[in-house]
Chains A and B, each alone.
Chain A
Amino acid sequence: MELENILYASVQLAHNFGAAAVTGLPIAALWFKPAPPILRKMAWLTLLAWLVQSASGAGFGTVSFFQEGELPQIHHLALAALCVKIACAALAVTLLTVHFLRRTASGPGVAMWRGLAILGVTALTSAAILRWFS
């Protein structure tokens, strides 16, 4: 078993759980409509998940750079998909940060959860394109 595979697998593990959380939490919030304190906790988890996504996404490039001395060869459609993923993460982190800076007692409203769900689904869709195109 190679160190490189262990590193990629570790990064992938974090990235997969992050992907599941950034999509699943907003959909669950919209579907089950839990109480405001729970919504607030779910919003924190969503923010944490997007940060994990950002860090682990950068982790793929970091492992490549330190293990192979080069960054991944990503062009055309895959590069566009990567840009979309980064934009989704930046927008979601910004939305949630602004929400928490307002120091409201309740969790985000329906509109924000919808927005977060769309961002999560978009990022997950782009991930498939990024993986299978280059």
Chain B
Amino acid sequence: MSNKASIACAGALIAAATLASTGPALFILPAAAEDSLVTILAPADGAKLEAKKTYPLDYEVQASVKADHVHLFVDGDEVGMVHKLKGSFKLGPLKAGDRKVCVSPVNKNHTPIGAQACIHVTVQ
């Protein structure tokens, strides 16, 4: 194969790979309210949970130009991620003691957008 053909094929490979890898990342969402708020619907703040059991943690994030998905933290350690702005995590099993559970909406680059909801639960 000639050099020109080689370069042309290499260029085609690069173009194809670029199109394939770009995906939805270049789509820009419509503008919306800046102050995205997140709410933990369940369990309630101060709830008493049983160790070794799992509980659904329901949350809701108001639609925002920045919020893309949410991260779940237990005592500051990230334990889950869901690509929905309204949904549920499986919380637990947790170690006994007082635990701080937070849901943090983040942008496409996994960066917190400023809003966060936290609850304190007692695990027995």
Contacts and interface: CB of A to CB of B under 8 A. Distances in A.
B78 A64 contact: no
Interface of B: 1, 3, 5-7, 9-10, 13-15, 17-18, 21-22, 25-26, 28-29, 31, 65-66, 71, 77-78, 81, 104, 106-114
Interface in A3-32: 4-6, 8-9, 12-13, 16-17, 19-21, 23-25, 27-29, 31-32
A1 B29 CA distance: 8
Contacts of B9: 28, 31-32
Given A28-B6, A34-B6, A68-B111, A12 B26 contact: yes
Given A20-B17, A33-B6, A134-B71, 19 more contacts: A1-B28, A2-B65, A4-B107, A5-B29, A8-B108, A16-B22, A29-B10, A32-B10, A34-B1, A63-B109, A68-B107, A68-B111, A68-B112, A73-B104, A73-B106, A73-B111, A76-B78, A127-B21, A134-B106
Contact of B14 (A2, A6, A24, A35): A24
Nearest to A12: B25
Nearest to A17: B18
Top 10 closest pairs, chain A to chain B, by CB: A28-B10, A20-B17, A64-B111, A32-B6, A72-B110, A24-B13, A34-B6, A20-B18, A24-B14, A5-B28
6 contacts: A2-B28, A2-B31, A9-B25, A24-B14, A32-B6, A33-B6
Contacts of A21: 14
Contact of A42 (B10, B112, B113): B10
Contacts, number: 106
Contacts of A20: 13-15, 17-18, 21
